[in-house]
Structure 1
Amino acid sequence: MIQTMEARGMDAGMDPSDISAPLLSATVLLLRDGARGLEVFMVERSGRVGAFAGAMVFPGGKVAPEDSSAELRALADNGGDLDDAAFGFAVSSVREAFEECGVLLAHRDGATLTDAELAPLAGFRDAIGRNRIPFARFLADHGLRLDMAGLAPFSRWVTPVFRPKRFDTMFFLAAVPPDQTLSHDGSETVHGLWTRPQDVIDAADRDRKYSLYFATRLNLMDLALSGTVA
């Protein structure tokens, strides 16, 4: 069941005009069944980017206005019951997953894509991320359709009001198609790995190997309670 979390501490006496509006964003916990249990794909943010620099995160980013466009609705299956806000969150998570780690949660003629089919599309990751080609045009030109049924809302986090830069982030779960290999983009992200949720928490706490933000940590803790993707 989806949880909504908002840390409100230290907001007493704050002038409402000093509270910044949160930016809408979406992220996706990409899952697979590994030899030792459930694994999630994580990426390390580049130290050169603004938000979450150097941290281990799930693929994601800001929701774009066009993520809830009529053009994308026409290219999506199983999303007809979603309002514009929910649809925009979902599409953003799919788009960002493709941009940042090369996984494409879409299908062609009812089948998910393989690595061989994705290889000619790899160059579009950067083009879409830099807004050089609309995501809807990319999907339409390559005969692709989004399948909203493959995304499961997991949690929603809102940055505390006392922070100068705030995000309203929806977290989704999605099983990675079996014939797709994930990789970081080498720009916003500089490292990617499959890990059991508890393993990355332990590496952050015991070895100080990774930096984890609070929301990332708690989502990992919740995920660690599950043994398999199912």
Structure 2
Amino acid sequence: MTDPTRRLPDDLAAHARAFTDGTREPVDARHASTVVLLRDGDGQPGGLEVYLLRRHVDMAFAAGMCVFPGGGVDKRDFDADIGWVGPTPAEWAALLGTDEAFARALVCAAVRETFEESGVLLAGPTTDSVVEDTTGEDWEEDRRALEGREISFTSFLDRRGLKLRTDLLRLWGSWVTPVFEPRRFNARFFVAQLPAGQATRDVSTESDHVVWLPLREAIRAVDAHEMLMLPPTYCTCLEMFDHLSTAEVLDAAAGRDLVAVEPQAVIGDDGAYLTIPDRLVRLGEDVAARMRG
């Protein structure tokens, strides 16, 4: 990120040019929720560990990229009868800038997608407890049924006597896919700590590899072109670099600027480039310099 722009691959550059010259219309951005799942590391800058999935190379969106658990909101996430602990849908609505129904859906999607893609469930039987183990075959059967849309999230939780622990989530920010992209998402980024007793599992059908990495190792791998990441994932890792514990990240979320980031394309004679906010460019340069030092 030493350059404030990023060169686009030829296929996306072609999309950007078509949008600029008016031969292509933008598609609507699908609403999505992403969860940055964290656990404590060595207590040094960049030492926090983050959970990443590498998407299959044949996926229609972000093929081969390393991402956080997450996915699109669907109709199951709008169930107002779902068990709920923590900030109310009205409080989440104020934070997310939406109505209550849609805020509830975004939070439900965050918890549901995290369970579907990692096996981690932010839910518990009481207001101050979290389920400790989700590794049994009966849990896996439920996870597959949720992933296959065979059951609703509400019925799954009700049958097990569980409620969403929405107080375990914090809103970190949001990113909107550039307007020229053929597939677009308006993704809200949440952060959460890996609950005590739970373990992530390589279960998602959309990924071919999962890993826990210290933030500094993930950043180093991207900078060395050993790992692929979309800008939102990479920039989120940069933003958390100086937080020494998951508790610090959760506390820092309360003071975040929640204005959505939407990268733009700049087209020049030598190609098309993606721009990101200057503050993130400067942050990338600073982190890179400190890691070299």
Does the TM-score normalized on the shorter chain lie above 0.5?
A: yes
Q: Report what 1:61 is aligned to.
A: 71
The amino acid of 1:19's aligned partner reads P
Aligned amino acid, residue 86 of structure 2? N
Tell me, yes or no, if the aligned pair for 2:69 and 2:113 is still in contact at 8 Å.
yes
- Say whether residues 1:124 and 2:134 are aligned partners: no
Q: Which residue of 1 aligns with 2:36?
A: 29
RMSD: 1.9
Say which structure, 1 or 2, has more relative contact order (CA 8 Å, 6+ apart). Answer: 1
1:5 aligns with: none
- Paired with 1:78 and 1:180, the residues of 2 have a C-alpha distance of 20
Shift of 1:48: 2.9
Please give the alpha-carbon distance, in whole angstroms, between the structure 2 residues aligned to 1:59 and 1:45. Answer: 10
| Structure 1 residues 14 and 86: alpha-carbon distance in aligned structure 2, compared to 1, 3 A threshold | farther
The CA deviation at 1:33 is: 0.5
Residue 269 (structure 2) aligns with: none
Q: Which residue of 1 aligns with 2:161?
A: 143
Corresponding residue for residue 112 of structure 2: 95
**Equivalent residue runs for 1:63-212 within 5 Å:** 63-72=73-82, 75-80=83-88, 81=90, 82=92, 83-109=100-126, 110-115=128-133, 118-119=135-136, 120-206=138-224, 208-212=225-229
CA–CA separation in structure 2 for the residues paired with 1:181 and 1:209: 26
The equivalent of 1:229 in structure 2 is: 246
Q: Which amino acid aligns with 2:85?
A: D
Q: CA deviation at 1:14?
A: 4.5
Q: Report deviation, 1:213.
A: 0.6
Residues paired across the two proteins, number: 217
Structure with a larger share of its residues in strand: 1
Q: Aligned-pair distance for 1:185?
A: 1.3
Percent identity over paired residues: 31
Aligned equivalents of 2:146 and 2:140: distance in 1? 11
Equivalent pair of 1:105/1:177 in contact (CA under 8 Å): yes
**Bigger mean CA deviation after superposition, 39-48 or 94-103:** 39-48
Give the C-alpha shift of residue 65 in structure 1: 2.1
Which TM-score applies when normalising by structure 1?
A: 0.87
TM-score relative to the length of structure 2: 0.69
Report the alpha carbon displacement of residue 85 of structure 1 after superposing the two structures with TM: 2.0
1:22/1:178 Cα in 2 relative to 1: closer, same or farther (>3 Å)? Answer: same
Distance 1:95 1:19 in 2: 29
- List alignment gaps of at least 5 residues for structure 1: 1-8
Q: Which of 203, 222, 235 is the equivalent residue of 1:218?
A: 235
Distance 1:66 1:201, change over 3 A: same
Q: In 2, Cα distance between the equivalents of 1:124 and 1:190?
A: 21
After superposing on structure 2, the runs of 4+ consecutive aligned residues of structure 1 that deviate more than 4 Å are 9-15
Over residues 141-184 of structure 1, what are the superposed CA-to-partner deviations in whole Å (9 max), with x where a residue is unaligned? 01010011111000100111121211100000001101011012
